């Protein structure tokens, strides 16, 4: 029993020290950024990432550091990572749009059906954990309303409990569905950012194949297949082709 208590104590202390060390490193990075040492700030932020910690704020600060260094591919990569965790963050979305306005490729996306655009906008209003919290809260309200329906002897309260329970149960399931959608996007994201200054997209995974079009650093692509050291990618206008895996970094 004593040994188990000691193990638990060491784990708690270790976690506290680990968190404290991360906070100290982030504070140093913030100070370096404020003082204009952007390369140093980026290295410190990445050190925290390599320790296993991630957050929208950390990716956002790292993106800002690379933007100040005029490394647009890295800036866009980390803004996209921040956006993946917190799609409704206005600062992230604004800085990402500014960074995208500075890259060479201006690709017109395929028009999106209105209901898909509406659903995406709704899903991106909140992050995964926020949708999860709302689903739990609405489920609790639904259960309380259900209890009121079964426990009350008054017809009015039973009706209120029944319909309130139904409405909030629907809300809980819908919010849970939105949370699951965000979870799927975070864990199954196949988008990537091009890091090569210029890359020629091929018709097949072969250097000798036909040249299709040219892309430049900072452009976002969707990875749809992988053969050996080649990715098959699709860009926003629907064009498809192949490029070397080394030319991109996955978001």
Residues whose CB is less than 8 angstroms from the CB of residue 76 and which lie 6 or more positions away in sequence, other chains included: 63, 96, 99, 100, 103, 193, 218, 220
Question: Looking at the structure, do residues 97 and 6 belong to the same domain, yes or no?
Answer: yes
138 and 210 co-located in one domain: no
Secondary structure of residue 69 in the 3-state scheme = coil
User: Among 187, 210, 236, where does a domain finish?
Assistant: 187
Among 124, 60, 42, 44, smallest CA distance to 98 is for 60
Q: What's the domain range around 28?
A: 2-101
Last residue of a domain, one of 51, 66, 101: 101
Mean pLDDT of 167-181: 95
CA of residue 45 relative to chain centroid, distance: 17
Band of pLDDT at residue 153, cut at 50, 70 and 90: confident
Q: Are residues 129 and 45 in the same domain?
A: no
User: Do both 164 and 228 map to the same domain?
Assistant: no
- Residue 199 sits in the same domain as residue 180: no
* pLDDT exceeds 80 at position 132: yes
| Domain boundary pick from 160, 187, 214 | 187
Range of weakest confidence among 41-45, 111-115, 190-194, 237-241: 111-115
Torsion, Cα 239 243 248 251, to 10 degrees, reads 50
Residue 6 resides in a domain: yes
| 196: nearest Cα among 220, 221, 215 | 215
Does one domain contain both 125 and 200? no
157 and 205: one domain? no
Whether 162 and 144 map to the same domain: the answer is yes
What Cα–Cα distance (Å) separates residue 77 from each residue in 43, 150, 194, 220? Answer: 15, 53, 9, 9
Sign of CA dihedral 44, 50, 55, 56: positive
- DSSP 3-state of 225: strand
- Looking at the domain assignment, is residue 172 inside a domain? yes
pLDDT interval class at 71 (50, 70, 90): very high
**What is the per-residue DSSP string for 118-140?**
HHHHHHTTS-HHHHHHHHHHHHH
pLDDT over threshold 60, residue 2: no
Q: Say whether both 140 and 216 belong to one domain.
A: no
| CATH number of the structural domain spanning residue 64 | 1.25.40.10
> pTM value?
0.81
Residue 200 lies in a domain: yes
Q: Given pLDDT bands bounded at 50, 70 and 90, which one contains residue 12?
A: very low
Same domain, 27 and 89: yes
Percent of the chain having pLDDT more than 70? 92
What mean pLDDT comes out for the span 79-84?
Answer: 95
Count up the domains in the chain and report the number. Answer: 3
Sheet-wide strand order for 230-234: 211-216, 198-202, 240-244, 230-234, 220-227, 191-194, 248-250
Q: Cα separations (Å) of 127 from 54, 55, 85, 186?
A: 14, 11, 6, 10
From CA 125, how far away is CA 131, in angstroms rounded? 9
Does 106 map to a domain?
no
Is residue 8 predicted with pLDDT exceeding 50? no
Q: Give me the pLDDT at residue 165, please.
A: 93
Q: Stretch 160-176: mean pLDDT, rounded? A: 95
pLDDT of 11 higher than 60: no
Same domain, 7 and 81: yes
């Amino acid at each position: 029993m004593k040994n188990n208590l000691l193990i638990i104590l060491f784990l708690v202390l270790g976690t506290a020290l680990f968190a404290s060390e991360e906070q100290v490193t982030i504070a140093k990075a913030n100070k370096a950024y404020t003082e204009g040492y952007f390369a140093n700030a980026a290295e410190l932020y990445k050190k925290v990432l390599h320790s296993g910690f991630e957050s929208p704020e950390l990716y956002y600060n790292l993106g800002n550091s690379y933007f100040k260094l005029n490394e647009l591919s890295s800036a866009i990569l980390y803004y996209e990572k921040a956006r993946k965790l917190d799609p409704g963050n206005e600062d992230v979305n604004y800085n990402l749009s500014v960074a995208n306005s500075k890259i060479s490729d201006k690709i017109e996306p395929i028009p999106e059906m209105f209901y898909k655009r509406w659903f995406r906008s709704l899903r991106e209003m909140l992050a995964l954990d926020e949708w999860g919290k709302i689903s739990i809260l609405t489920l609790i309200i639904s259960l309380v309303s259900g209890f009121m329906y079964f426990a009350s002897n008054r017809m009015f309260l039973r009706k209120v409990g029944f319909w309130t329970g139904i409405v909030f149960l629907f809300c809980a399931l819908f919010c849970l569905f939105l949370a699951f959608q965000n979870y799927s996007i975070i864990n199954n994201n196949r988008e990537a950012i091009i890091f090569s200054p210029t890359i020629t997209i091929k018709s097949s995974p072969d250097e000798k194949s036909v040249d299709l079009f040219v892309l430049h650093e900072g452009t976002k692509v969707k990875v749809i297949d992988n053969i050996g050291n080649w990715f098959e990618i699709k860009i926003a206008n629907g064009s498809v082709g192949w490029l070397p895996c080394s030319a991109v970094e996955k978001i």
